Amino acid sequence: MQDNYGDDAAATQTAPSKPAQPPLRMLESQGLAGFLVENGISLAFTTYQAGKIFFVGVNPQGRISIFERNFPRCMGLSVANGSIWLSSLFQIWRMENFLQPGQQHNGYDGLFVPLASHVTGEVDAHDMTEGRDGQPIFVATRMNCIATLDRRHSFVPIWKPPFIDKIVAEDRCHLNGAAFVRGKAKYVTCVATTNFARGWSDRRRDGGVILDVASGEIVAQGMSMPHSPRLHDDKLWVIQSGRGQFGWVDRNTGKFETVCNMPGFARGLQFVGKHAIIGISGPRKDKTFEGLELNERLAQANQEPICGVLIVNLETGTIEHRLELQGVVSELYDVAVLPGLRRPMAIGLQADDIRYMLYPKPMAD
Protein backbone atom coordinates (compact mmCIF):
# COMPACT_ATOMS: atom_id res chain seq x y z
CA MET A 1 0.00 0.00 0.00
CA GLN A 2 1.28 3.46 -0.93
CA ASP A 3 0.35 6.64 0.94
CA ASN A 4 -0.77 9.08 -1.75
CA TYR A 5 -2.98 11.54 0.11
CA GLY A 6 -1.60 15.02 -0.20
CA ASP A 7 -0.87 14.74 -3.94
CA ASP A 8 -3.49 17.44 -4.51
CA ALA A 9 -3.30 18.98 -1.06
CA ALA A 10 -2.98 22.55 -2.35
CA ALA A 11 -6.21 22.15 -4.29
CA THR A 12 -8.36 20.76 -1.50
CA GLN A 13 -10.78 22.46 0.87
CA THR A 14 -10.25 20.85 4.25
CA ALA A 15 -12.13 22.10 7.26
CA PRO A 16 -9.97 22.58 10.38
CA SER A 17 -9.71 19.36 12.37
CA LYS A 18 -10.30 19.08 16.06
CA PRO A 19 -7.04 18.59 17.97
CA ALA A 20 -7.99 15.02 18.96
CA GLN A 21 -8.68 13.94 15.37
CA PRO A 22 -5.84 12.24 13.47
CA PRO A 23 -5.01 13.62 10.02
CA LEU A 24 -6.52 11.99 6.96
CA ARG A 25 -4.35 9.47 5.11
CA MET A 26 -5.17 7.52 1.96
CA LEU A 27 -3.32 4.33 1.11
CA GLU A 28 -3.58 2.94 -2.41
CA SER A 29 -2.85 -0.62 -3.41
CA GLN A 30 -0.43 -1.22 -6.25
CA GLY A 31 -2.26 -1.43 -9.53
CA LEU A 32 -5.17 0.87 -8.63
CA ALA A 33 -3.95 3.69 -10.88
CA GLY A 34 -3.41 1.23 -13.72
CA PHE A 35 -6.94 -0.15 -13.28
CA LEU A 36 -8.45 3.33 -13.59
CA VAL A 37 -6.38 4.19 -16.67
CA GLU A 38 -7.02 0.84 -18.34
CA ASN A 39 -10.78 1.25 -17.93
CA GLY A 40 -10.80 4.95 -18.84
CA ILE A 41 -12.53 6.03 -15.63
CA SER A 42 -12.14 8.02 -12.46
CA LEU A 43 -14.12 7.66 -9.25
CA ALA A 44 -16.01 9.80 -6.76
CA PHE A 45 -17.27 8.93 -3.30
CA THR A 46 -19.04 10.68 -0.44
CA THR A 47 -18.62 10.71 3.32
CA TYR A 48 -21.50 12.18 5.31
CA GLN A 49 -19.48 11.80 8.51
CA ALA A 50 -16.86 14.33 7.34
CA GLY A 51 -19.14 16.13 4.87
CA LYS A 52 -16.95 15.67 1.80
CA ILE A 53 -17.02 14.47 -1.78
CA PHE A 54 -13.74 13.00 -3.03
CA PHE A 55 -12.61 12.65 -6.63
CA VAL A 56 -10.08 9.90 -7.42
CA GLY A 57 -8.09 10.01 -10.65
CA VAL A 58 -4.56 9.61 -11.98
CA ASN A 59 -2.03 12.44 -12.33
CA PRO A 60 0.52 12.86 -15.17
CA GLN A 61 3.09 10.91 -13.14
CA GLY A 62 0.77 7.89 -13.09
CA ARG A 63 -0.05 8.16 -9.38
CA ILE A 64 -3.44 8.35 -7.73
CA SER A 65 -4.79 11.91 -7.60
CA ILE A 66 -7.16 12.91 -4.78
CA PHE A 67 -9.36 16.01 -4.78
CA GLU A 68 -11.99 16.92 -2.18
CA ARG A 69 -14.75 19.45 -1.62
CA ASN A 70 -16.98 20.11 1.39
CA PHE A 71 -20.75 19.59 1.35
CA PRO A 72 -22.53 19.06 4.69
CA ARG A 73 -23.66 15.46 5.25
CA CYS A 74 -23.34 14.52 1.60
CA MET A 75 -24.65 11.04 0.80
CA GLY A 76 -26.41 10.10 -2.42
CA LEU A 77 -24.25 10.40 -5.54
CA SER A 78 -25.13 9.79 -9.17
CA VAL A 79 -23.57 10.47 -12.58
CA ALA A 80 -25.98 10.85 -15.50
CA ASN A 81 -25.50 12.45 -18.92
CA GLY A 82 -22.27 14.05 -17.70
CA SER A 83 -23.94 15.66 -14.67
CA ILE A 84 -23.27 14.85 -11.02
CA TRP A 85 -26.24 14.75 -8.66
CA LEU A 86 -25.35 15.01 -4.97
CA SER A 87 -27.53 15.04 -1.87
CA SER A 88 -26.48 16.96 1.23
CA LEU A 89 -27.97 17.84 4.63
CA PHE A 90 -31.05 19.63 3.30
CA GLN A 91 -30.31 20.15 -0.42
CA ILE A 92 -29.84 18.27 -3.68
CA TRP A 93 -27.12 19.66 -5.95
CA ARG A 94 -26.49 19.41 -9.68
CA MET A 95 -22.89 19.82 -10.80
CA GLU A 96 -21.76 20.22 -14.42
CA ASN A 97 -18.38 19.72 -16.07
CA PHE A 98 -17.27 23.05 -17.56
CA LEU A 99 -14.50 21.43 -19.65
CA GLN A 100 -14.92 20.06 -23.15
CA PRO A 101 -13.15 16.83 -24.22
CA GLY A 102 -9.45 17.56 -24.59
CA GLN A 103 -9.55 20.70 -22.42
CA GLN A 104 -7.69 20.98 -19.11
CA HIS A 105 -7.81 23.29 -16.10
CA ASN A 106 -4.69 23.34 -13.93
CA GLY A 107 -3.86 19.80 -15.03
CA TYR A 108 -7.40 18.41 -14.56
CA ASP A 109 -9.59 17.16 -17.40
CA GLY A 110 -12.84 17.44 -15.44
CA LEU A 111 -14.02 20.63 -13.71
CA PHE A 112 -17.34 20.12 -11.93
CA VAL A 113 -19.15 23.26 -10.83
CA PRO A 114 -22.29 23.36 -8.64
CA LEU A 115 -24.86 25.09 -10.88
CA ALA A 116 -28.14 24.46 -9.09
CA SER A 117 -29.54 23.23 -5.80
CA HIS A 118 -32.99 22.48 -4.47
CA VAL A 119 -33.82 22.81 -0.79
CA THR A 120 -35.57 19.58 0.18
CA GLY A 121 -35.33 19.92 3.92
CA GLU A 122 -33.74 17.13 5.92
CA VAL A 123 -35.24 14.14 4.12
CA ASP A 124 -32.05 12.03 4.48
CA ALA A 125 -31.69 11.44 0.73
CA HIS A 126 -29.81 8.23 -0.05
CA ASP A 127 -29.53 6.53 -3.48
CA MET A 128 -30.42 8.69 -6.47
CA THR A 129 -30.44 8.97 -10.25
CA GLU A 130 -31.61 11.33 -12.97
CA GLY A 131 -35.18 10.78 -14.11
CA ARG A 132 -36.48 10.86 -17.67
CA ASP A 133 -37.57 14.49 -17.22
CA GLY A 134 -34.09 15.59 -16.12
CA GLN A 135 -35.10 15.87 -12.47
CA PRO A 136 -33.44 13.72 -9.78
CA ILE A 137 -35.19 10.63 -8.46
CA PHE A 138 -34.04 9.76 -4.95
CA VAL A 139 -34.67 7.63 -1.89
CA ALA A 140 -36.03 9.92 0.85
CA THR A 141 -35.16 7.65 3.76
CA ARG A 142 -36.55 9.82 6.53
CA MET A 143 -39.84 10.10 4.63
CA ASN A 144 -40.07 6.36 3.75
CA CYS A 145 -40.53 6.95 0.02
CA ILE A 146 -39.06 7.45 -3.44
CA ALA A 147 -39.30 11.10 -4.43
CA THR A 148 -38.55 13.69 -7.07
CA LEU A 149 -38.64 17.49 -7.28
CA ASP A 150 -40.88 20.19 -8.69
CA ARG A 151 -40.93 23.99 -8.62
CA ARG A 152 -43.34 24.48 -5.71
CA HIS A 153 -42.56 21.80 -3.11
CA SER A 154 -39.71 20.56 -0.96
CA PHE A 155 -40.07 17.19 -2.67
CA VAL A 156 -42.71 15.10 -4.44
CA PRO A 157 -43.33 11.53 -3.20
CA ILE A 158 -43.86 9.13 -6.12
CA TRP A 159 -43.81 5.70 -4.39
CA LYS A 160 -43.86 4.20 -0.90
CA PRO A 161 -43.76 0.58 0.33
CA PRO A 162 -47.23 -0.95 0.73
CA PHE A 163 -46.74 -1.41 4.47
CA ILE A 164 -46.12 2.33 5.01
CA ASP A 165 -49.46 4.07 5.59
CA LYS A 166 -48.43 7.72 5.16
CA ILE A 167 -45.59 10.08 4.27
CA VAL A 168 -44.19 11.22 7.59
CA ALA A 169 -40.73 12.25 8.82
CA GLU A 170 -40.13 9.18 11.00
CA ASP A 171 -37.79 6.79 9.12
CA ARG A 172 -40.07 3.87 9.84
CA CYS A 173 -38.46 1.13 7.72
CA HIS A 174 -35.11 2.65 6.70
CA LEU A 175 -35.83 2.51 3.00
CA ASN A 176 -32.25 3.19 1.90
CA GLY A 177 -31.45 1.94 -1.60
CA ALA A 178 -32.83 1.64 -5.10
CA ALA A 179 -31.88 -0.19 -8.28
CA PHE A 180 -32.74 2.26 -11.05
CA VAL A 181 -33.46 1.38 -14.68
CA ARG A 182 -33.73 4.20 -17.22
CA GLY A 183 -34.55 6.77 -14.57
CA LYS A 184 -37.08 4.70 -12.62
CA ALA A 185 -36.73 2.65 -9.43
CA LYS A 186 -37.22 -1.08 -10.08
CA TYR A 187 -36.13 -2.60 -6.75
CA VAL A 188 -35.60 -1.07 -3.29
CA THR A 189 -34.04 -2.19 -0.02
CA CYS A 190 -35.52 -1.69 3.45
CA VAL A 191 -33.94 -2.68 6.77
CA ALA A 192 -37.37 -3.85 8.00
CA THR A 193 -41.06 -3.86 7.04
CA THR A 194 -42.08 -1.75 10.04
CA ASN A 195 -44.58 1.13 10.09
CA PHE A 196 -43.60 3.11 13.19
CA ALA A 197 -40.77 5.50 14.00
CA ARG A 198 -37.37 3.74 13.87
CA GLY A 199 -39.10 0.38 14.05
CA TRP A 200 -36.32 -1.05 11.89
CA SER A 201 -33.62 -0.47 14.54
CA ASP A 202 -34.48 -3.66 16.46
CA ARG A 203 -34.71 -5.74 13.28
CA ARG A 204 -31.32 -4.98 11.80
CA ARG A 205 -29.99 -8.52 12.13
CA ASP A 206 -32.47 -10.32 9.84
CA GLY A 207 -35.46 -8.08 9.07
CA GLY A 208 -34.21 -6.69 5.76
CA VAL A 209 -36.07 -7.05 2.47
CA ILE A 210 -35.80 -6.26 -1.22
CA LEU A 211 -39.08 -5.07 -2.75
CA ASP A 212 -40.25 -5.03 -6.35
CA VAL A 213 -41.44 -1.45 -6.91
CA ALA A 214 -44.01 -2.26 -9.60
CA SER A 215 -45.83 -4.88 -7.52
CA GLY A 216 -44.78 -3.97 -3.99
CA GLU A 217 -44.03 -7.65 -3.38
CA ILE A 218 -41.03 -8.98 -1.45
CA VAL A 219 -38.30 -10.39 -3.69
CA ALA A 220 -35.94 -11.42 -0.86
CA GLN A 221 -36.21 -11.35 2.92
CA GLY A 222 -34.30 -12.34 6.06
CA MET A 223 -31.50 -9.96 5.07
CA SER A 224 -29.29 -7.95 7.41
CA MET A 225 -29.32 -4.20 6.67
CA PRO A 226 -29.40 -4.56 2.86
CA HIS A 227 -28.01 -1.60 0.91
CA SER A 228 -27.21 -0.50 -2.64
CA PRO A 229 -29.32 -2.81 -4.84
CA ARG A 230 -28.10 -2.67 -8.42
CA LEU A 231 -28.86 -4.40 -11.72
CA HIS A 232 -25.81 -5.50 -13.73
CA ASP A 233 -25.38 -8.27 -16.29
CA ASP A 234 -29.01 -9.30 -15.71
CA LYS A 235 -28.38 -9.96 -12.01
CA LEU A 236 -29.77 -8.18 -8.97
CA TRP A 237 -26.76 -7.34 -6.83
CA VAL A 238 -26.96 -6.17 -3.23
CA ILE A 239 -24.85 -5.67 -0.13
CA GLN A 240 -25.87 -7.21 3.18
CA SER A 241 -24.15 -4.58 5.29
CA GLY A 242 -25.02 -6.20 8.62
CA ARG A 243 -23.36 -9.46 7.59
CA GLY A 244 -20.58 -7.88 5.59
CA GLN A 245 -21.53 -9.78 2.44
CA PHE A 246 -21.62 -8.74 -1.20
CA GLY A 247 -23.50 -10.86 -3.70
CA TRP A 248 -26.60 -11.28 -5.81
CA VAL A 249 -30.17 -12.45 -5.34
CA ASP A 250 -32.01 -15.06 -7.38
CA ARG A 251 -35.19 -13.14 -8.21
CA ASN A 252 -37.18 -16.36 -8.58
CA THR A 253 -36.30 -17.92 -5.23
CA GLY A 254 -35.09 -14.96 -3.16
CA LYS A 255 -31.87 -16.82 -2.32
CA PHE A 256 -28.80 -14.69 -1.70
CA GLU A 257 -25.54 -15.88 -3.26
CA THR A 258 -22.41 -14.52 -1.59
CA VAL A 259 -19.56 -13.41 -3.87
CA CYS A 260 -17.24 -12.18 -1.11
CA ASN A 261 -17.08 -11.05 2.50
CA MET A 262 -16.40 -7.40 3.26
CA PRO A 263 -13.79 -6.21 5.81
CA GLY A 264 -16.16 -3.52 7.09
CA PHE A 265 -19.67 -2.02 6.84
CA ALA A 266 -20.27 -1.77 3.08
CA ARG A 267 -22.51 0.70 1.23
CA GLY A 268 -22.25 2.22 -2.23
CA LEU A 269 -21.91 0.00 -5.30
CA GLN A 270 -21.08 0.53 -8.97
CA PHE A 271 -19.74 -1.68 -11.75
CA VAL A 272 -17.06 -1.51 -14.42
CA GLY A 273 -17.22 -4.59 -16.64
CA LYS A 274 -16.47 -7.64 -14.51
CA HIS A 275 -15.55 -5.59 -11.43
CA ALA A 276 -17.62 -4.10 -8.61
CA ILE A 277 -16.60 -0.87 -6.92
CA ILE A 278 -17.75 -0.86 -3.29
CA GLY A 279 -17.57 1.69 -0.49
CA ILE A 280 -16.74 0.39 2.96
CA SER A 281 -16.77 1.89 6.45
CA GLY A 282 -15.68 1.17 9.97
CA PRO A 283 -18.86 0.56 12.02
CA ARG A 284 -19.80 3.32 14.42
CA LYS A 285 -19.72 2.64 18.14
CA ASP A 286 -23.46 3.09 18.65
CA LYS A 287 -26.65 1.03 18.82
CA THR A 288 -27.22 1.14 15.05
CA PHE A 289 -24.19 -1.10 14.53
CA GLU A 290 -24.45 -3.30 17.63
CA GLY A 291 -25.27 -7.00 17.48
CA LEU A 292 -24.46 -7.50 13.81
CA GLU A 293 -22.94 -10.65 12.35
CA LEU A 294 -20.32 -8.50 10.65
CA ASN A 295 -18.90 -7.41 14.00
CA GLU A 296 -18.90 -10.99 15.29
CA ARG A 297 -17.09 -12.31 12.20
CA LEU A 298 -14.43 -9.61 12.32
CA ALA A 299 -13.92 -10.14 16.06
CA GLN A 300 -13.48 -13.88 15.59
CA ALA A 301 -10.86 -13.22 12.93
CA ASN A 302 -9.20 -10.58 15.14
CA GLN A 303 -9.66 -8.21 12.21
CA GLU A 304 -10.22 -4.46 12.46
CA PRO A 305 -12.78 -3.01 10.01
CA ILE A 306 -11.40 -0.66 7.40
CA CYS A 307 -12.75 2.39 5.56
CA GLY A 308 -12.22 2.93 1.86
CA VAL A 309 -13.10 1.85 -1.66
CA LEU A 310 -12.68 -1.74 -2.84
CA ILE A 311 -12.57 -3.14 -6.36
CA VAL A 312 -13.85 -6.72 -6.46
CA ASN A 313 -13.53 -9.24 -9.28
CA LEU A 314 -17.08 -10.55 -9.83
CA GLU A 315 -15.90 -13.89 -11.19
CA THR A 316 -13.47 -14.80 -8.39
CA GLY A 317 -14.70 -12.68 -5.46
CA THR A 318 -11.16 -11.37 -5.01
CA ILE A 319 -10.56 -7.85 -3.76
CA GLU A 320 -8.05 -6.82 -6.44
CA HIS A 321 -7.54 -3.14 -5.59
CA ARG A 322 -8.30 -0.80 -2.74
CA LEU A 323 -8.02 2.78 -1.58
CA GLU A 324 -7.97 2.79 2.22
CA LEU A 325 -8.80 5.85 4.33
CA GLN A 326 -7.31 6.33 7.78
CA GLY A 327 -7.73 9.09 10.30
CA VAL A 328 -10.55 11.62 10.43
CA VAL A 329 -12.70 9.85 7.79
CA SER A 330 -14.04 6.48 8.93
CA GLU A 331 -17.39 6.20 7.10
CA LEU A 332 -18.39 6.39 3.43
CA TYR A 333 -21.81 6.26 1.84
CA ASP A 334 -21.90 6.27 -1.96
CA VAL A 335 -19.52 5.72 -4.87
CA ALA A 336 -19.78 6.75 -8.52
CA VAL A 337 -17.89 6.12 -11.75
CA LEU A 338 -16.88 9.04 -13.99
CA PRO A 339 -16.33 7.57 -17.48
CA GLY A 340 -13.90 9.21 -19.85
CA LEU A 341 -12.20 11.36 -17.21
CA ARG A 342 -8.68 10.71 -16.01
CA ARG A 343 -8.32 13.39 -13.32
CA PRO A 344 -11.43 15.33 -12.21
CA MET A 345 -11.80 18.17 -9.72
CA ALA A 346 -14.62 20.41 -8.54
CA ILE A 347 -15.29 23.98 -7.51
CA GLY A 348 -16.63 24.35 -3.98
CA LEU A 349 -18.71 26.97 -2.23
CA GLN A 350 -16.32 28.19 0.46
CA ALA A 351 -13.59 29.92 -1.58
CA ASP A 352 -13.88 32.77 -4.10
CA ASP A 353 -13.45 30.45 -7.11
CA ILE A 354 -17.21 30.00 -7.44
CA ARG A 355 -17.66 33.78 -7.94
CA TYR A 356 -15.44 33.93 -10.99
CA MET A 357 -16.15 30.58 -12.66
CA LEU A 358 -18.21 31.83 -15.62
CA TYR A 359 -19.29 29.59 -18.49
CA PRO A 360 -21.90 31.38 -20.64
CA LYS A 361 -23.66 29.66 -23.50
CA PRO A 362 -22.50 31.18 -26.81
CA MET A 363 -24.98 33.57 -28.42
CA ALA A 364 -26.45 32.57 -31.74
CA ASP A 365 -25.25 34.54 -34.77
pLDDT in tens, 94-126: 999 999 999 999 999 999 999 999 999 999 999
CB 48 within 8 A of CB 72: no
Ramachandran area for residue 303 (φ above 0: left; ψ -120 to 50: alpha; else beta): beta
CB 130 within 8 A of CB 92: no
Q: What dotted CATH number matches 2-11+24-350?
A: 2.120.10.30
Q: Is the full-model pTM beyond 0.85?
A: yes
Please give the C-alpha separations between residue 93 and each of 16, 77, 85, 118, 271, in angstroms, as whole numbers: 24, 10, 6, 7, 23
N-terminal to C-terminal alpha carbon distance within the chain = 55
Angle at 178 between CA 72 and CA 331, to 5 degrees: 40
CB 126 within 8 A of CB 173: no
How far apart CA 179 and CA 189 sit, in angstroms, is 9
Indicate whether 325 pLDDT > 60. Answer: yes
Indicate whether 235 pLDDT > 50. Answer: yes
CB 56 within 8 A of CB 323: yes
How far apart CA 92 and CA 78 sit, in angstroms, is 11
Which pLDDT score is estimated for 15?
45
How far apart CA 80 and CA 82 sit, in angstroms, is 5
* Cross-strand pairs, 278: 269, 310
pLDDT confidence of 137, banded at 50, 70, 90? Answer: very high
Indicate whether 14 pLDDT > 70. Answer: no
Mean pLDDT of 159-172: 98
Mean pLDDT of 210-224: 98
Mean pLDDT of 62-75: 96
Range of weakest confidence among 2-6, 83-87, 270-274: 2-6
- Residue 175: closest CA among 211, 206, 218: 211
Written as one letter, the residue type at 82 is: G
How far apart CA 81 and CA 301 sit, in angstroms, is 43
